[in-house]
Amino acid sequence: MSTAALHTRSLLPRAAVEPIAPDAVTLPGFAAAEAADLCAQLQELLVVSPWRHMLTPGGQRMSVAMSNCGRAGWVSDRAGYRYQSTDPQSGRPWPRMPPSWLKLATGAAAFAGFPAFEPDACLINRYQPGARLSLHQDRNERDLSAPVVSVSLGLAALFQFGGAQRGDPVRRIALFHGDVVVWGGTQRLAFHGVQPLAEGVHPVTGRCRINLTFRRAL
């Protein structure tokens, strides 16, 4: 899909639910009404736990900048991938998850068929043009019965959703400002990622895409 088509498609009307696979759906525009408030509240969280580019266990700098909020935060360094209750940069607890964020995440999960979801962690990613996230599984959480709720803000991106094996066929889904993806159940350990972000400027986020990923980590 060309960059022009990727950004133009966001203007078209969409259905309330778009299935990706069993137990995995896109909810187009589900968070659109709250998007501006989400971005404003994010700036307050970043004062406490600013953006940082974490290292992989192999010592590679990640292209995506990250932060966290909630009872636990996802971190990566030479010691490995894990959740911990404190920000390694400050030694203080991660910022509290705003109540409106929790309400959005639980509401999206319920709408997608996961009514008992209670996230305790939100991984916050910032993609600037060229940044990408390679295919991976979210498997550091203790409770793999809980779904993952992913909220897209800002520039459009191409989301990749595969199967239980890295080599399984991959679907590519255009995500726009306010879109939400929910997956769990049989798809909980599906490989997924984000293709390199195309150049652009969004009126709310500027030259980047923000992704809020809600999980049950502890």
Q: In tens digits, what is the pLDDT along the chain, a chain of 218 residues?
A: 444 455 544 444 444 899 999 999 999 999 999 999 999 999 999 999 999 999 999 999 999 999 999 999 999 999 999 999 999 999 999 999 999 999 999 999 999 999 999 999 999 999 999 999 999 999 999 999 999 999 999 999 999 999 999 999 999 999 999 999 999 999 999 999 999 999 999 999 999 999 999 999 99
Domains and CATH numbers, the chain: 3-215 (2.60.120.590)
Q: Which long-range contacts (CB under 8 A, 24 or more apart) does 82-90 make?
A: 82/140, 83/121, 83/140, 83/141, 83/217, 83/218, 87/48, 87/49, 89/49, 89/50, 89/52, 90/48, 90/49
Beta strands in the chain (DSSP E): 18-21, 24-27, 65-70, 73-77, 80-84, 121-127, 133-136, 148-154, 157-161, 171-175, 180-183, 192-194, 209-215
What is the pTM assigned to this prediction? 0.93
